């Protein structure tokens, strides 16, 4: 079915001694919509630049169709890029922006230059404007287009010379939310119609889940997980992924045996297995998988500390024995109410301990105490006091 097109083998990128990509191994299939997802500075753009040929990795190989292409310049790769600042030519109309690349004579290995015939250029430009739904916009000036329309011109321009792969670096970053959602569908539609590989970069997890066949979660230059959107959401590999993809309560647990997990000294039925007996684990419970019931019926009991109306549901923060969880529920439970909760076996997701254990998944930042601790005027005053003591 899907065939491997690009592979990064042991790719490491260092800048001034800092490791930005750390021994990355990954392949990209033909006709796949893949998204690189991770926080700012994790190395997403760097990885894209290495694939595009704008950056030579410190070590490791880039292969295209099984051939090592480390030394192939960008313009000789069958790969085009749409950058976040898509830099259209403001003095050219839509048609001429898209036609621009096709009008440049192509140089063959022996140095001879050939020009595409005018009617061939015209056919291709019109075909591409049709693909991005901009038929009839040929003579419009760039300045007269909306942000979404400009974005589509940039995509048409990158696709018109028929690359095998399109690299998109936060292509929707500049658009407002409604337009972003429309363009997500649009990009997906274009990718399916042309059947080429799209490698998209974003730090927006919703966008990654909505558009992609495959999501690659990256942190600190290391690939954390590769999978379908469903895999990544339902079966996060570690606390970083669980926290980065949607909201998660993450608590310490112990796997007592297959399908029995213990949290807060209580045992719960779950669906996970394959751990050592009594192995310490991280347990993810998604806010939408917790049912609020009466105190008497609850598997755990807690006190509501904050409620925020979110439209479809309430973000309800509940204190269980000093640990605060986020619960998303359509039931309104006022602050200070004592509630019980129930979690079905499929509401638990058990993960191996990792370097990210204990770093994420705690919602105590919603509480007032936290605000107090973080009061800058208070810490400044304390610092001043400390300084006086030292003198
Ligand atoms: N040419 C360069 N020289 C030095 N450092 C660089 C260079 N390019 C990138 N970096 C550093 O590498 C790290 C990763 O940068 P990169 O642009 O790949 O991140 P990113 O994941 O795309 O982030 P963002 O979401 O903010 O765009 C950053 O710390 C950045 O400062
Ligand atoms: Mg970037």
Residue nearest to atom 19 of ligand 1 (CA): 41
Which strands sit side by side in the sheet containing 279-285, from one edge to the other? 266-269, 260-263, 249-257, 279-285, 348-352
- pLDDT at position 176 is 81
Give the residues across from 260 on adjacent strands. 257, 269
Same domain, 49 and 172: yes
Mutate to test the pocket of ligand 1, among 37, 40, 43 (most ligand atoms within 8 A of CB): 43
Cβ(266)–Cβ(259) below 8 Å: no
Same domain, 199 and 255: no
Same domain, 68 and 188: yes
Ligand 2 centre from 44 Cα, in Å?
A: 6
Instruction: Confirm whether 384 is domain-assigned.
Output: no
Same domain, 327 and 182: no
Ligand 1 centre from 59 Cα, in Å?
A: 17
Rounded Cα distance, 76 and 80, in Å: 10
Same domain, 179 and 203: yes
List of residues 6+ apart from 293 with CB closer than 8 A: 339, 340, 341, 342
Scored b (16 or more CB within 10 A) or e, 131-165 reads: bbebeebeeeebeebeebbbbbbbbbbbbbeebbb
Nearest bound ligand to the CA of residue 40? 1
Same domain, 372 and 255: yes
How many distinct structural domains can be found in the chain? 2
Listed residue (327, 282, 293, 284) closest to 308, CA to CA: 327
43 lines ligand 1 (CB under 6 A): yes
CATH number at residue 287: 2.40.50.140
Of 234, 262, 294, which one is at a domain's C-terminal end? 234
- pLDDT at position 103 is 92
Same domain, 195 and 317: no
| DSSP per-residue codes, 73-140 | -GGGSSEEEE-SS----TTSBHHHHHHHHHHSPEEPTTS-EE---HHHHHHHHHHHHHHTT-TT-TT-
Listed residue (125, 189, 127, 179) closest to 149, CA to CA: 179
Residue nearest to atom 17 of ligand 1 (CA): 45
Instruction: Confirm whether 177 is domain-assigned.
Output: yes
- pLDDT at position 361 is 82
Same domain, 162 and 262: no
11 lines ligand 1 (CB under 6 A): no
Same domain, 228 and 182: yes
- pLDDT at position 384 is 44
Mutate to test the pocket of ligand 1, among 44, 174, 205 (most ligand atoms within 8 A of CB): 44
Which structural domain, as residue segments, surrounds residue 277? Answer: 249-376
Cβ(145)–Cβ(139) below 8 Å: no
Nearest bound ligand to the CA of residue 42? 1
Instruction: Confirm whether 244 is domain-assigned.
Output: no
Instruction: Confirm whether 388 is domain-assigned.
Output: no
265 lines ligand 1 (CB under 6 A): no
Rounded Cα distance, 80 and 48, in Å: 11
Residue nearest to atom 12 of ligand 1 (CA): 20
Instruction: Confirm whether 383 is domain-assigned.
Output: no
CB atoms under 10 Å from CB of 233, counted, come to 19
Instruction: Confirm whether 240 is domain-assigned.
Output: no
Work out which ligand 1 atom sits closest to the CA atom of 43: 18
Same domain, 255 and 368: yes
21 lines ligand 1 (CB under 6 A): no
40 lines ligand 1 (CB under 6 A): yes
89 lines ligand 1 (CB under 6 A): no
Same domain, 216 and 296: no
Ligand 1 centre from 40 Cα, in Å?
A: 8
Extract the tokens encoding 18: 């800092």
Of 206, 234, 262, which one is at a domain's C-terminal end? 234
Of 204, 234, 264, which one is at a domain's C-terminal end? 234
Same domain, 44 and 169: yes
Q: Is 285 exposed, middle or buried (0-12, 13-18, 19+ CB in 10 A)?
A: buried
CATH number at residue 224: 3.40.50.300
Instruction: Confirm whether 82 is domain-assigned.
Output: yes
- pLDDT at position 390 is 41
Ligand 1 centre from 44 Cα, in Å?
A: 8
Rounded average pLDDT per 10-residue block, the chain, 391 residues: 90 96 97 96 96 96 96 93 84 96 85 90 94 93 90 92 93 82 90 94 93 96 97 94 93 97 96 96 96 95 95 94 93 95 96 93 62 43 43 37
Cβ(137)–Cβ(98) below 8 Å: no
């Amino acid at each position: 079915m899907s065939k491997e097109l690009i592979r990064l083998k042991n790719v490491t990128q260092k800048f001034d001694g800092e490791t930005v990509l750390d021994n990355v191994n990954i392949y990209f299939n033909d006709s796949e919509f893949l998204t690189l997802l991770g926080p700012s500075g994790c190395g997403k753009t760097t990885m894209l630049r290495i694939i595009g040929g704008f950056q030579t990795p410190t070590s490791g190989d880039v292969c295209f169709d099984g051939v090592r292409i480390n030394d192939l310049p960008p313009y000789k790769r069958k790969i085009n890029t749409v950058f976040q600042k898509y830099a259209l030519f403001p003095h050219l109309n839509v048609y001429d922006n898209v036609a621009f690349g096709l009008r440049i004579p192509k140089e063959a290995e022996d140095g001879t230059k050939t020009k595409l015939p005018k009617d061939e250029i015209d056919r291709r430009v019109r075909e591409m404007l049709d693909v991005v739904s901009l038929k009839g916009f040929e003579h419009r000036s760039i300045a007269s287009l909306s942000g979404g329309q400009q974005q589509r011109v940039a995509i048409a321009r990158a696709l018109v010379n028929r690359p095998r792969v399109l690299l998109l670096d936060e292509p929707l970053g500049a658009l407002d939310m409604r337009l972003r959602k429309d363009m997500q569908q649009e990009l997906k539609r274009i990718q399916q119609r042309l059947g080429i590989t799209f490698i998209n970069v974003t730090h927006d997890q919703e966008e990654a889940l909505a558009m992609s066949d495959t999501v690659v979660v990256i942190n600190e230059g290391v690939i954390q997980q590769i999978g379908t959107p469903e895999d990544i959401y339902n079966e996060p590999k570690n606390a970083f992924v669980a926290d980065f993809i949607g909201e998660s309560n993450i608590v310490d647990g112990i796997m007592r045996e297959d399908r029995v997990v213990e949290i807060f000294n209580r045992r719960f039925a779950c669906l996970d297995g394959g751990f050592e007996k009594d192995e310490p684990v991280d347990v993810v419970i998604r806010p939408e998988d917790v049912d609020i019931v009466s105190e008497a019926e609850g598997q755990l009991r807690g006190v509501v500390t904050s409620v925020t109306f979110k439209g479809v549901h309430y973000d309800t923060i509940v204190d269980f024995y000093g640990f605060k969880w986020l619960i998303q529920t359509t039931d309104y439970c006022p602050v200070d109410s004592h509630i019980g909760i129930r979690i079905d076996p499929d509401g638990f997701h058990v993960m191996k301990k990792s370097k990210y254990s204990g770093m994420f998944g705690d919602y105590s930042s919603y509480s007032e105490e936290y605000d107090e601790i973080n009061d800058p005027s208070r810490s400044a005053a304390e610092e001043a006091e400390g300084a006086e003591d030292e003198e």
